[in-house]
Amino acid sequence: MSNKINILFTGATGYLGGSILERLLSHPDFARFQITAIVRSPEKAEKLRTFGIDVAMGSHNDVDLVTDIAAKADVVFTVADCDDLGAARAILEGLKRRHEKTGKKSTLIHTSGTGALIDDANGAFTSDLIYDDIDPDQIETLPDSAIHRHVDLPVVQADREGYVNTYIVLPSVVYGLATGKLIDQGIQNPHSILLPHLIELGVKRGQAGVCGKGQNTWPHVHIDDMADFYIILFDAILAANPAPGHGREGYYFGENGHYLVYDLCKSVAVALAAHGVGTDEPTTFTEEEHKTEFLVPVLGSNAQCKASRGRALGWKPRYSEEDLFGSVKAEVDAILKKN
């Protein structure tokens, strides 16, 4: 790469994206980075510019805009909607144009998720199937119809075609309130997806819930550990000594252990009950809630994995299952205050 590194960043105002961008802002090589973020909010765009970020006003559905910016990028971080195939295709088209024009391969660090691994346990049991990202043959046993695969597979195919090196990061249940300069300036969303949804659903139904018996298992990772991993991967790609796996060998799970889903739902019930919402024992979600609440069926599944590749790169996540459960009270307090 040239001395200046052109970076396209999607999802800059989001929970995980903002946390990764926060780390790029404090990176020792930040002076080399020319970061362009695609942002819809004029107010947030103006604030981002004060941090030295170039902003393209628009959405990820603006195909021409996305393609044109990608065609100038050495590195692309996609941390927005991981199921947006249109945006992914626009980015890949831009990177392909760049390669055809210059002969240079760009780097694409794409965010997917461990939802790709789910089964249909419905809270009844814990599976003995654990996916290891060091084993591409095992990952390729996932059906094409699995969640996120409709985007992940074209990303890997692009690497196979030789015009881009692709790295797919699959965070698990990310938790913890995000902090930092972008939060302080009102640019970044501080909340994850699963816990706030569980909390808000518990408030709505007057009682925290659980899918079936909650005997299924999911991996977890703290927001700070997950954001740190992206920078470790980014640095390893730039150093290329040795080059980290890409393409079919470029899947990277984000996990630091697993938890029983019942235990998390119980923690939410206890925290809500302390605020006068229901009792401290979660009740089973109804059949109707399974149909109308998009996360309930996912909550009842198993998704187990090992982040072998990340740890081989030197990633050392610090936050444990105890921290996950310990974060619930602060999340409940913040959600109830916001609402």
pLDDT tens string 149-203: 999 999 999 999 999 999 999 999 999 999 999 999 999 999 999 999 999 999 9
Q: How far apart are CA 40 and CA 87, in angstroms?
A: 15
Could you tell me the fold of the domain covering 194-219+257-338?
UDP-galactose 4-epimerase; domain 1 (3.90.25)
pLDDT score for 294: 86
Environment class of 220 (CB within 10 Å of its CB; exposed 0-12, middle 13-18, buried 19+): buried
Tokens (6 digits) for 116: 């790709």
Tokens (6 digits) for 232: 């470790």
pLDDT score for 339: 78
DSSP 30-83: GGGEEEEEEES-HHHHHHHHTTT-EEEES-TT-HHHHHHHHTT-SEEEE-S-TT
> pLDDT of 130-162, one tens digit each?
999 999 999 999 999 999 999 999 999 999 999
**2 has pLDDT over 70:** no
What is the mean pLDDT of the segment spanning 221-235?
A: 98
| pTM across the whole model | 0.97
Q: How far apart are CA 124 and CA 136, in angstroms?
A: 29
Q: Looking at domain 5-120+128-185+220-254, which CATH architecture does it have?
A: 3-Layer(aba) Sandwich (3.40)
Which residues contact residue 19 at a Cβ distance below 8 angstroms, ignoring those fewer than 6 apart? 178, 180, 188, 223, 224, 226, 227
Residues of the chain by 3-state class (helix, strand, coil), percent to 5: 45, 15, 40
Tokens (6 digits) for 46: 């103006």
The amino acid sitting at 174 is V
The amino acid sitting at 28 is P
- pLDDT above 70: percentage of residues in the chain: 99
Helix (H) or strand (E) run with residue 310 in it: helix 308-312
What is the mean pLDDT of the segment spanning 101-121?
A: 97
Radius of gyration of the chain (CA): 20
Q: Which of 205, 217, 207, 210 is nearest to 295 (CA)?
A: 210
Map out the domains of the chain as residue ranges.
5-120+128-185+220-254, 194-219+257-338
Per DSSP, the three-state class of 198 is helix
